[in-house]
Amino acid sequence: MTDMMDTSANAPRRTSLKGNSALVARRKRRERLLMGVGLGAILIAFTVLFILVASLVSTGYTAFVQTQVTLDVHVDPAEISEEQLPRGGFQNVLTRSVLDLLPDADPETDLRAVRGILSNGAQFALRDQVAADPSLIGQTITLTVPLSDPYDQLNKGNINRDTPESERRLNDQAVVWFDQLDQAGRISTPFNWALFTNADSRFPELAGLKGALVGSFWVLFICFAVSFPVGIGAAIYLEEFAPKNRVSDFIEVNINNLAAVPSVVFGLLALAVFLNWFGLPRSAPFVGGLTLALMTMPTIIIATRAALKAVPPSIREAALGLGASKQQVVFGHVLPLAMPGILTGTIIGLAQALGETAPLLLIGMNAFITSAPTSPFDASTALPTQIFIWADSPERGFVSRTSAAILVLLGFLVIMNALAIYLRNRFERRW
Amino acid sequence: MTLTAFLILLVLAVTGYVMNRRAASALTADGTRLHSLTHFHGLYALLTVLVPVFVLICLFLILETPIINAMVMAGLPDGALDGLDTGGQQLVLAEIRSISRGRVFGTPEDWKLAAADRLVALYGWFDILLIVTVIALSLAILLFTRRRVAAEFRARQASEKIVTGLMVACSLIAILTTIGIVFALVFEAWRFFQMVPLTDFLFGANWEPQIPIREDQIAAEGAFGWLPVILGTIVISFVALFIATPIGLLSAIYLNEFAPHRIRAIVKPVLEILAGVPTVVYGFFAILVVAPALRGAGAELGVPISPNTALAAGGVMGIMLIPFISSFADDALTAVPRSLRDGSLALGATRGETMLKVLFPAAIPGIVGGVLLAVSRAIGETMIVVMAAGLMAKLTINPLDSVTTVTVQIVTLLIGDTAFDNPKTLAAFALGLMLFIITLGINVLALRIVRKYREIYD
């Protein structure tokens, strides 16, 4: 086709497309190239997602089990007496029962090293058991307690036995001891319930997510309790009642802009207004929930307005025609029909709020707190801030704990999004 | 105690509903024709009790602690606070509060113990005051509404007026939030600029916010020039956009024009997953996988790569932005009228040529809007850079080096520090104000471009 312009040639030009087959082939090749590059771009995104999940699973799965050792503990009345409870030489008693299992360990010189085999939390487990039942004093009881982090990592294969002793966290003697315990059938690796029933701890083998889970629950609860009614109220007013004037335009622009304000700015707002001016408590899930509510509100307003818009005018007209007032139409007919869409948007907004970290850092929800909060006004962490704290901790055990916490967080997000999709498919009506 | 107050309010409000509804029903039983349905008479009572008393309780909760604190501090013996600055006074107050909760460390002075007792007593009195006020006010309003039940009372209009008022209040919260953000940032930043001149902040090339906390402490004087910080932000955002823009655009082109329906049905949700991953997870991914991999690659090639290289933070941020850009570009391409595509194909252009020479140029405004929004996100993104970028501000544009960003500085300056009287903490608000202005400007620009472009075809 392009050659038609060439008038200098005398011979009649062939106008068949066949003559341009080389050109067509080149153009087709270019198209395939574009297709290939596009597919490649998607593959890159997929690969990264795969690496992300794979690295989290491969480092995190070991934290879902915990290495434990079963000991025959003689609760020695010389160390532990009923009058002194809950004080007593629980650690000495435990160390002695480990020494009994290790024939070649010297009770004098190796005492410290053998004590290090057990987790620091072991003595408290024994203490609580004896304190609950003082008649155990003088008896021999069977007790299963967690091992300390280095031995836990050795059992899970995170410490390589082939690395030279000087570069390993455990010396050869420690490895031998561990193998002796293992051969005696004392080592077990059950599911790590402590990950969900313990709060945070300095010791990785004892650290759990309970405080973070309870904290996140309160944060989300407050966030929902504030943002859901306020968001729906604002959306109904703007969509159904507000006169179309400068003021409602201004509110609309405002809401769209709020949705794009960086989350850390909301943290600054919370710090200056909620904590500094109103004097609300620091690190409290109540303040975290309020802050996230301000961030979630635009999402809910936008979703609610879309859901209200999707309800056909015939519904409104029918209700109006039967003599209902404008508010009766909205609250009695339009709102119930729009509810599935509103709930879907709300759940997605809450899922975003659950993963939000930066504003919570600024209001101090990254404190080290070893007990779960009992009310939304107690100092607490939340799941994402707990991940941030653990990611900062240098101990090896916290790496797998961090990945495990992330997997738990992602699990919750998947559940919430699945719920949103289910609601959308099950209840949303197409008109 | 607050919970009790709310419960009492709820019970009284429901009582009001039942009472007024019954009264209205009694009227209809007599054969009177009411203006409003009995239900609205009940609703009117419920709302008139609930709304004002609820607001009262909230106000009380907000004001309670500051007032009690002020009363306790004012009641301290003369001379107890002599020579203490704001921070010292806060410490005394915190100690009194912890004593009042039964946590006594050492042997506090007698006046502190007395103040703690006073604090506990005041809280007790305030609780009683709250409960009494709630009950009295609710009952008074109940009585008032009960007397208004009559055949001609327009209960529906009255309660609908209250509901409309509530909805207006809800929409005003959105504006209040914006005003709150602007006011908090401007107020604290203004205090900062009283200590550090604006020109030093805007044009200074040194960012060393560590300042002596005590008089006798030896530390740097502190320098607050934000140029290296904003430069670091630009470097990391540039790296992120350098990765996200081509990948995002190309995948949008493929999805929009070439992908079979089945592939599209799989790829779109997967990209949404990528968008839904919390940023703290991306941050951990950057320090767990990407940064060590980059350092290893650098060691192989003999290039020194900093452990906190901007490449790691920027790269991971780019991954986070891929779905953002791709969905924006996909929408923009879909919005191009069908006629343009059909015309181009009818003239013999291949689908690739149609995409690159017709659809893509037509969609450019929408795509640019999307990329601009991605830029604003990259600048405001916090957790990835807090975890993976550096803390030291350096005036460099080398992405292999460690740089810091505005958001990193905001978070590190404010973590674990609550004293609002020194330039170190207030500097975070000045940075926050700049961040807010920049992102707001970009957002407004992007939305304007997107809107203007839509007007052409609609």
Q: What is the DSSP string of A33-91?
A: HHHHHHHHHHHHHHHHHHHHHHHHHHHHGGGGB--EEEEEEE--TTT--GGGTT-S-HH
Token code pair at residue B42: 């009940």
d(CA A305, CA A303): 6
Cβ pair B37, B166 in contact under 8 A: no
d(CA A162, CA A221): 50
Report the chain A residue with the minimal C-alpha distance to residue B326.
A42
User: Of B161, B192, B211, at which residue does a domain stop?
Assistant: B161
Backbone φ and ψ for A68, nearest 5 degrees, come out as -130, 160
**Mean pLDDT of all residues in A174-198:** 86
Coil, helix or strand at residue A373: coil
A422 CB neighbour count, 10 Å cutoff = 12
pLDDT of the residue at A1:
44
User: How far, CA to CA in Å, does A166 sit from each of A111, A163, A172?
Assistant: 21, 8, 10
Cβ neighbours of B348 in A, within 8 Å = 1
Token code pair at residue B223: 């320098």
Same domain as B139, residue B245: no
User: Of B161, B176, B211, at which residue does a domain stop?
Assistant: B161
- Whether A257 sits inside 8 A of B440 (CB atoms) is yes
Residue in this structure with the two tokens 């391409």, named with its chain if needed? B333
Best of B280, B319, B437, B448 to substitute, by most chain A Cβ atoms within 10 angstroms, is: B280
d(CA A276, CA A282): 10
User: Which residue(s) pair with A72 in the sheet?
Assistant: A142
Handedness of CA A231, A234, A237, A243 (dihedral sign): negative
Judge whether B348 lies within some domain.
yes
Judge whether B194 lies within some domain.
no
Which chain A residues in 179-198 lie under 8 Å from chain B, judged by CB atoms? none
CB-closest option in A45, A273, A356 to B184 = A273
Specify the CATH number for the domain of residue B374: 1.10.3720.10
d(CA A55, CA B16): 60
Cβ pair B9, B22 in contact under 8 A: no
DSSP states of A220-285 as a string? Answer: HHHHHHHHHHHHHHHHHIIIII--SSHHHHHHHHHHHHHTTS-HHHHHHHIIIIIIIIS-PPTT-H
Residue type, A138: G
Token code pair at residue B278: 């919390």
Cβ pair B147, B139 in contact under 8 A: no
What does the pLDDT look like over B327-374, one tens digit per residue?
A: 999 989 998 888 999 999 999 899 999 999 999 998 988 899 999 999
d(CA A195, CA A209): 6
Written in H, E and C, the secondary structure of chain B is: CHHHHHHHHHHHHHHHHHHHHHHHHHHHHCCCCCCCCHHHHHHHHHHHHHHHHHHHHHHHHHHHHHHHHHHHHHCCCCCCCCCCCHHHHHHHHHHHHHHHCCCCCCCCCHHHHHHHHHHHHHHHHHHHHHHHHHHHHHHHHHHHHHHHCCCCCCHHHHHHHHHHHHHHHHHHHHHHHHHHHHHHHHHHHHHHHHHCCHHHHHHCCCEECCCCCCCCCCCCCCEECCHHHHHHHHHHHHHHHHHHHHHHHHHHHHHHHHCCHHHHHHHHHHHHHHHHCCHHHHHHHHHHHHHHHHHHHHHHHCCCCCCCEHHHHHHHHHHHHHHHHHHHHHHHHHHCCHHHHHHHHHCCCCHHHHHHHHHHHHHHHHHHHHHHHHHHHHHHCCHHHHHHCCCCCCCCCCCCCECCCHHHHHHHHHCCCCCCCCHHHHHHHHHHHHHHHHHHHHHHHHHHHHHHHHHHHC
Report the chain B residue with the minimal C-alpha distance to residue A390.
B284
- Whether A236 sits inside 8 A of B167 (CB atoms) is yes
CB-closest option in A233, A272, A387 to B188 = A272
Cβ neighbours of B255 in A, within 8 Å = 38, 42
> Which residue did the predictor score with more confidence, B55 or A22?
B55
Cβ pair B420, A276 in contact under 8 A: yes
Q: How far A198 CA sits from the closest chain B CA (Å)?
A: 22
Which chain A residues in 277-296 lie under 8 Å from chain B, judged by CB atoms? 278-280, 282, 294
Helices and strands per DSSP (H, E), number in chain A: 17, 3
Nearest CA among A358, A414, A366 for reference residue A386: A366
What does the pLDDT look like over A188-234, one tens digit per residue?
A: 888 888 888 888 888 888 888 999 999 999 999 999 999 999 999 99
B261 CB neighbour count, 10 Å cutoff = 7
d(CA A408, CA A305): 32
Token code pair at residue B231: 């430069």
What is the count of structural domains for chain B? 2
- Whether A272 sits inside 8 A of B187 (CB atoms) is yes
Same domain as B286, residue B140: no
pLDDT at A390 over 70: yes
Best of B123, B281, B433 to substitute, by most chain A Cβ atoms within 10 angstroms, is: B281
pLDDT of the residue at A2:
47
- Whether B280 sits inside 8 A of A59 (CB atoms) is no
pLDDT of the residue at B219:
53
User: Of B161, B186, B210, at which residue does a domain stop?
Assistant: B161
- Whether A250 sits inside 8 A of B175 (CB atoms) is yes
pLDDT of the residue at B48:
92
pLDDT at A297 over 90: yes
Same domain as B120, residue B38: yes
A297 touching chain B per CB within 8 A: yes
Same domain as B229, residue B80: no
CB-closest option in A31, A231, A256 to B350 = A31
Judge whether B261 lies within some domain.
yes
Judge whether B80 lies within some domain.
yes
- Whether B288 sits inside 8 A of A31 (CB atoms) is no
**Mean pLDDT of all residues in A83-88:** 74
CB-closest option in A232, A260, A269 to B181 = A269
- Whether A256 sits inside 8 A of B447 (CB atoms) is yes
Q: List chain B pLDDT tens, one digit each, 458 residues.
A: 778 889 999 999 999 999 999 988 888 888 888 888 888 999 999 999 999 999 999 888 878 877 888 888 888 877 777 777 766 777 788 788 778 777 777 777 788 888 888 888 988 899 999 999 999 999 999 999 888 888 888 889 999 999 999 999 999 988 899 999 999 999 999 998 988 888 888 888 888 887 655 555 555 567 888 899 999 999 999 999 999 999 999 999 999 989 899 988 888 888 888 888 999 999 999 999 999 999 889 888 888 888 888 899 999 999 999 999 999 999 899 988 889 999 999 998 999 999 999 999 989 888 999 999 999 999 999 999 999 988 888 888 888 888 899 999 999 888 865 666 778 888 899 999 999 999 999 998 988 888 776 656 65
Same domain as B269, residue B125: no
Nearest CA among B282, B69, B412, B46 for reference residue A264: B412
pLDDT of the residue at B212:
57
Judge whether B214 lies within some domain.
no
CB-closest option in A234, A361, A391 to B411 = A361
* Cα atoms in the Cβ-side hemisphere of radius 13 Å centred on A387: 33
Angle at B384 between CA B381 and CA B390, to 5 degrees: 105
Same domain as B124, residue B262: no
Q: How far B381 CA sits from the closest chain A CA (Å)?
A: 7
Burial of A289 per CB tally in 10 Å (0-12, 13-18, 19+) = buried
- The domain in which residue B248 lies consists of 223-457
Cβ pair A357, A113 in contact under 8 A: no
Cβ pair A143, A70 in contact under 8 A: yes
Beta-carbon contacts of B81 under 8 Å, excluding residues fewer than 6 positions away, are B73, B88, B89, B92
A47 touching chain B per CB within 8 A: no
Token code pair at residue B430: 């000045």
Length of chain B: 458
Same domain as B277, residue B422: yes
For residues B219, B220, B222, B228, the Cα torsion angle rounded to the nearest 10 degrees is: -130
What does the pLDDT look like over B286-332, one tens digit per residue?
A: 999 999 999 889 888 888 888 888 899 999 999 999 999 999 999 89
Q: How far B154 CA sits from the closest chain A CA (Å)?
A: 13
Coil, helix or strand at residue A144: strand
Q: How far B435 CA sits from the closest chain A CA (Å)?
A: 8
d(CA A194, CA A64): 9
DSSP state of A147: B
Same domain as B237, residue B145: no
- Whether B254 sits inside 8 A of A35 (CB atoms) is yes
Judge whether B200 lies within some domain.
no
Judge whether B395 lies within some domain.
yes
Nearest CA among B46, B34, B449, B429 for reference residue B226: B429
Residue in this structure with the two tokens 């920027």, named with its chain if needed? B314
Q: How far B168 CA sits from the closest chain A CA (Å)?
A: 7
Same domain as B228, residue B96: no
Beta-carbon contacts of B103 under 8 Å, excluding residues fewer than 6 positions away, are none
ipTM exceeds 0.90, yes or no: no
- Whether A387 sits inside 8 A of B284 (CB atoms) is yes
Cβ neighbours of B429 in A, within 8 Å = 268, 272
Cβ neighbours of B250 in A, within 8 Å = 37-38, 40-41
Token code pair at residue B11: 């019970």
Token code pair at residue A337: 């029909």
Coil, helix or strand at residue A13: coil
Coil, helix or strand at residue A167: helix
Judge whether B97 lies within some domain.
yes
Length of chain A: 431
User: How far, CA to CA in Å, does A240 sit from each of A390, B95, B182, B238?
Assistant: 47, 53, 29, 43
Same domain as B259, residue B363: yes
B302: left (phi over 0), alpha (psi -120 to 50) or beta: left
User: Which residue(s) pair with B273 in the sheet?
Assistant: none
- Whether B432 sits inside 8 A of A366 (CB atoms) is no
Which chain A residues in 2-31 lie under 8 Å from chain B, judged by CB atoms? 27-28, 30-31
Q: How far B256 CA sits from the closest chain A CA (Å)?
A: 10
- Whether B432 sits inside 8 A of A268 (CB atoms) is yes
Coil, helix or strand at residue A213: helix
Cβ neighbours of A387 in B, within 8 Å = 280-281, 284
Burial of A315 per CB tally in 10 Å (0-12, 13-18, 19+) = middle
Same domain as B245, residue B138: no
Nearest CA among B115, B38, B35 for reference residue B69: B115
d(CA B395, CA B377): 23
d(CA A78, CA A57): 47
d(CA A245, CA A249): 6
Same domain as B109, residue B39: yes
Q: Which domains does chain A have, with CATH numbers?
A: 64-192 (no CATH), 210-427 (1.10.3720.10)
- Whether B278 sits inside 8 A of A356 (CB atoms) is yes
Q: How far B182 CA sits from the closest chain A CA (Å)?
A: 9
Q: How far A288 CA sits from the closest chain B CA (Å)?
A: 15
Residue A86, preceding bond cis, omega within 30 degrees? yes
d(CA B389, CA B409): 11
Looking at chain B, the whole-number percentage of residues with pLDDT higher than 70 is: 93
pLDDT of the residue at B457:
60
d(CA A15, CA A4): 9
